[in-house]
Amino acid sequence: MNGALWSRQATTGGHAMRIVLSGSSTATRRPGWSSATGGEFLPFQLSRFDSRYATLSVPTPLLRRPSQYFDSNVLATTSGVPSPATVEALVHLLGPEAVLFAVVYPCERTGAAVATLERTALPPEVEHRIGSANARVLLRL
């Protein structure tokens, strides 16, 4: 399970949650930081993060629910996610402005990643945002 099969996502996702739970991203607005592999699959756990955080007693509580930091701070990439349904779900969870097309070379084939985006049921304008427009905004091109 080491490497790209599982441990990279779990480790990177854990670091991302530490950033959120530290409150250090409170003042940041998008683009705050990006996370590969569908946001390390964290966007699919947002309601769980909120419900579990509500049960914790912390010395310095967050100003917002954990999920709200994803709304304003996190961009997720399509790298490592060869599933049109998963890309569509990322758009639904984070919004079309928060998903970026990416390929993890040499682990992935660029053609397969492009085909994944093309096979979604997303409107052409959303595909365009994911495919290039969001990156142009992020990189100020």
Given a cut of 90, is residue 116 above it in pLDDT?
yes
Percent pLDDT > 90 in the chain is 51
**pTM of the predicted model, to two decimals?**
0.86
pLDDT band per the 50, 70, 90 thresholds, residue 10: confident
Query: Among candidates 25, 16, 15, which has minimal Cα distance to 62?
Result: 25
76 vs 74: CA distance, rounded Å: 7
